[in-house]
Structure 1
Amino acid sequence: MRQSRRDFLKKSSASAAGLGLIIPDFSFFRKISPNEKVNIGLIGARNKGYNILSHMMETGQVNCLGICDVDRNILEKRIEDVKKSFGQIPKGYGDFRRLLEDDAIDAVIIGTPDHWHCLIMVLACQAGKDIYVEKPLANSIEECNLMLAAARKYNRVVQVGQQQRSGEVWNSAMAHIHSGGIGVIKRVNVWANFPYGMGASKVPNETIPKGLDYDFWLGPASKRTYNPNRVHGNWRHFWDYGGGLMTDWGVHLLDMALWAKNIQQEPMSVIASGANYNLASYCRETYEIMDVSYPMEDYFIHWTHTAGLAIGPYEKPYGVEFIGDKGAIIADRGDWKILNGNKDESEEASKLAKANFNFTGKSAMEIHVLNFLRGVKERIATNCPVEIGRNVALYAHMGNIAVRTGENVLEWNTKLGNFKGNSKGNSLIQSEYHGGWELPSV
């Protein structure tokens, strides 16, 4: 798996043209023995990043050579966690660029807030690393485009952290849907209602905690006075760093709606409305309530969320309802079932539909990381490559943009990559970079 940067840049080339779902050509990289371990570096270690690393290390196929975090307290804790749980002592970094300079590292996990994903992934691609990047792919449409371009130009194996693409519940449901089990699907309803979407209760600004490099945490985002509600755990409620429930749960669940019809194209149009109440009490910019529709030529996707609640249709806080001309399916991460108006018939039909699927009992995360490691070793595409991550991220971002513009209805020009006749919407396609950081070029 080792090669010099010069050899890497000499050999790498774009694997395909356009933005369609095309499997890259990894053939110039040598395949390695299944018994050889992959050397991993983790960037962003507080929560999900370390969760991903733990799943990888539990496979026995990984060495952790480095961990990077801008909070020294988290960094030291995670190094100790790896030592205690897995008997390895990774090197610690406060700057991800120093970690990427280690030629011994084969692949990196990007577990940072969304506004850092693009810069880190593009530089990782240029450094010859494969990438497991958390969802959503990026914090803006243009960043998603750059990440796709970088992965293709440098022929990197990428897994986006949409682990439902690997989960057995969803794969078995898709097998039934794609076999025509509920006929032609005309509509999919998606919802996600969670209390945390309200954000945290307001607190005054504070002194920057010891050990946190706050300027580095902000990175390309606007400079702000430190407030604990804008960083660890709550950052996704602010446009500078994330997109609220729409991009957090939206990319997971809207992805299922796209998968049901194998939709690879960008949205044609988006119709959206949203509202924010209780802003006097909560620290939040993203929307408490949203209603978003994606009309297509022969298909309709509808998304809704209400923060502050943990209940929704079918008494589920989140879920996906697939409606076909021969029946319907209701699904969440725990299970799925067929609905046809008769409870007994529905239960029997659901049981029969699942009978031929080979359930192993492995979690979606376990399968997802195993799939990534296989991709790295064998130089093959993953279950959720960058193309899939980009496409669903565009759906989610466009929902937010439609509400933020105040115009509610946007039409997308696929050829030009912008909104038709809408300057407000187009101004939100690309994130503004600050603090001396620049949007990467590919």
Structure 2
Amino acid sequence: MNRKHFLKAGALLAATTFYTSSNAIGLTQSSKLRVGLIGVNGMGWANLNALLKVENVICTALCDVDANVLGRRKSELEKRNIQVKTYEDYKQLLKDDVVDAVIIATPDHWHCLIYVDAIKAGKHVYVEKPIGNSIKECEVMVAAAAKSNCIVQVGQWQRSQQHFRDAIKFVHSGKLGKVRLVKAWSYVGWKDPIIKKPDTPVPAGVNYDLWLGPAQKRNFNENRFHFEFRWFWDYAGGLMTDWGVHMIDFGLIGMKASVPKSIVATGGVYADPNTAAETPDTLTALYEFDGFNIQWEHALGIESGPYGRDHGVAFIGNNGTLVLNRQGWEVIPDKNKMEAVPLQPSVDNGLELHMVNFVEAIRKKDKSIINAPIEAGSHIATISQMGNIAYRTGKKIYWNDENKKFTDDECNTYLAAKYHNGYKIPAV
């Protein structure tokens, strides 16, 4: 993030209340950190299990709008002698004094609302990426954190993984020569197109109105529920915001980059034009910076991406190319201009280290040691949203960082997610 963004975010807070986390008071290294999970399916469950491996962390509450999944997770914890309260409405969980911190792992369109309520309730927050489903939501979430002493960690766990740090250190060493192009990508070969299905009655045990929340009212359709929500604009931003926030993030870190000068994107629903999905299954986005470009590409249903990897980021320099992903990193020389670096494999568990970092920051009451702070989560989510907006408008677009707007009025209609059903973007 550049300095102007932080200054502006700080200025917005001057006349409002400061949110205090009372549950951090008296939390020592030996006392139990009590955690509640909001959104217990998929990544939320993985996050909780990683967090429970940290010493003196216990789970005390679960929340989900699907009673079927909620009951299953409660039973699984009981088999491990972990007793929890369960809630359908996250607001009731936030009122519970036996919860010090929450994991937010709902569909993206709910992140901002739950996050701001959690901060106001004085809870520490681990929030899944992307932090928000619009640029405006990201700004609100940064502002809320700036008014609070609550600790926030964003679920970009590669930032806690050693080989990612080692690779970026090599990029910063200058050995690659001038880097003119950075490629970032995600090829999801295991995911087939979504076959269109008819609307059905809401499954028993599902509070569908609460699941929709601020999203547009629609009949229930299995294609939009649970994992598949990410392919519909009402709830998420497709692979660009699902994987782009991971890989483009490291492109920006490696290049010490802030905001692009321009963005252009092209793609579409090419794998199966009859799919039910709205977000593009094939996309290329180009971000222009001074002296270099960052190129994003993704494809559903194809497994072999650049350099034979299904995901990654490549720093292409005059002397060689560094290729990095979750498995490790290597350097491929260009015409023998430098020595090759063989694959340096991953040697640790990034998600578990991320949780250790989160708990350490809570116990030390020190935001500065967080590896994925809300400002960083906001920045990369915003950059990813820019790529989607360029795709949806079909234009080469330009961002005015001083005004936090695009130079094009049509683009600015995408700045804030449209809230429905009486919900409003939270005020902080």
- Is the TM value for this pair above 0.5? yes
Partner of 1:275: 268
TM-superposed CA distance for 1:195, in Å, is: 3.6
Partner of 1:298: 291
TM-superposed CA distance for 1:207, in Å, is: 1.2
Partner of 2:3: none
Partner of 1:394: 382
Cα contact 1:19–1:387 (8 A) shared by 2: no
Change (3 A) 1:253 1:187: same
Cα contact 1:40–1:108 (8 A) shared by 2: yes
Partner of 1:76: 71
Matched letter for residue 225 of structure 1: N
Change (3 A) 1:432 1:157: same
After superposition, give the CA deviation of every residue in 1:293-334 in whole Å (9 maximum; x if it has no partner): 111112311111122211111111112111223322011110
Percent identity reads 39
Partner of 1:178: 172
TM-superposed CA distance for 1:190, in Å, is: 1.1
Using the alignment, how far apart are the partners of 2:25 and 2:317 within structure 1? 45
The unaligned stretches of length 5 or more in structure 2 are 1-5, 11-19
Matched letter for residue 321 of structure 1: A
Cα contact 1:31–1:379 (8 A) shared by 2: no
The answer to whether 1:18 aligns with 2:8 is yes
TM-superposed CA distance for 1:32, in Å, is: 3.7
RMSD: 2.4
Cα contact 1:197–1:245 (8 A) shared by 2: no
Change (3 A) 1:344 1:90: farther
Cα contact 1:197–1:244 (8 A) shared by 2: no
Using the alignment, how far apart are the partners of 1:273 and 1:144 within structure 2? 24
Structure 1 residue corresponding to 2:280, chosen from 279, 287, 311: 287
After superposition, give the CA deviation of every residue in 1:356-389 in whole Å (9 maximum; x if it has no partner): xxx9933011101111111111122310000110
Partner of 1:406: 394
TM-superposed CA distance for 1:213, in Å, is: 0.5
Partner of 1:5: none
Partner of 1:330: 323
Partner of 1:35: 30
Partner of 1:12: none
The unaligned stretches of length 5 or more in structure 1 are 1-15, 21-25
Q: TM-score, normalised by structure 2?
A: 0.91
Q: Which moved more, 1:234-243 or 1:171-180?
A: 171-180
Q: Which moved more, 1:300-309 or 1:240-249?
A: 300-309
Partner of 2:354: 368
Using the alignment, how far apart are the partners of 2:179 and 2:152 within structure 1? 30
Cα contact 1:197–1:237 (8 A) shared by 2: no
Partner of 2:14: none
Using the alignment, how far apart are the partners of 1:27 and 1:225 within structure 2? 39
Q: TM-score, normalised by structure 1?
A: 0.88
Matched letter for residue 251 of structure 1: V
Using the alignment, how far apart are the partners of 2:394 and 2:273 within structure 1? 21
Using the alignment, how far apart are the partners of 2:135 and 2:107 within structure 1? 16
The answer to whether 1:51 aligns with 2:46 is yes
State the SS of the aligned residue for 2:227: coil
State the SS of the aligned residue for 1:205: coil
Report the number of matched residues.
413
Using the alignment, how far apart are the partners of 2:272 and 2:109 within structure 1? 23
